[in-house]
Amino acid sequence: MSGIFADHATGRYIGKVRSVRSLGPNAAVLRAVAGVVPAEASDLNPQLNSVQALVAEQIEGEWRVVLYHNTPAQFHGRPELAESLTDEMRQELQTRA
């Protein structure tokens, strides 16, 4: 792995948890979105936006990830949704500046 990162600049990741919902006393689902400001860039690359879902279960007092899903947020045929997510990620980026 060190060979990959030795000469590969890492971008800045911006994430936002949209919701966490209990599925019972020992399980929950988390929904989130994320964007990336590429290395040496000052703005998000909308093509790198993503949508995530995570299911966690509490086992013997510890929370463990049961399922993690990450998908590109391309919203094919619905450019207004892609633009809305990019705007949301830009606002999140500004709050962390």
Model confidence over 6-26: pLDDT tens digits? 778 889 999 999 999 999 999
Domain count for the chain, please give it.
1
Q: Which residues is 33 bridged to in the sheet? A: 16, 51
Question: What is the Rg, in whole angstroms, of the alpha carbon atoms belonging to the chain?
Answer: 16
Q: How far apart are the first and last CA of the chain?
A: 30
pTM for the structure as a whole: 0.85
Instruction: List the CATH number of the domain containing 63.
Output: 3.10.450.50
Q: Give residue 20's domain range.
A: 2-95
Kindly report the average pLDDT of the chain as a whole number: 94
Cα separation of 65 and 28, whole Å? Answer: 10
CA 77 to chain CA centroid, Å, is 22
User: What single-letter DSSP state applies at residue 42?
Assistant: S
The two structure tokens encoding residue 10? 């890492």
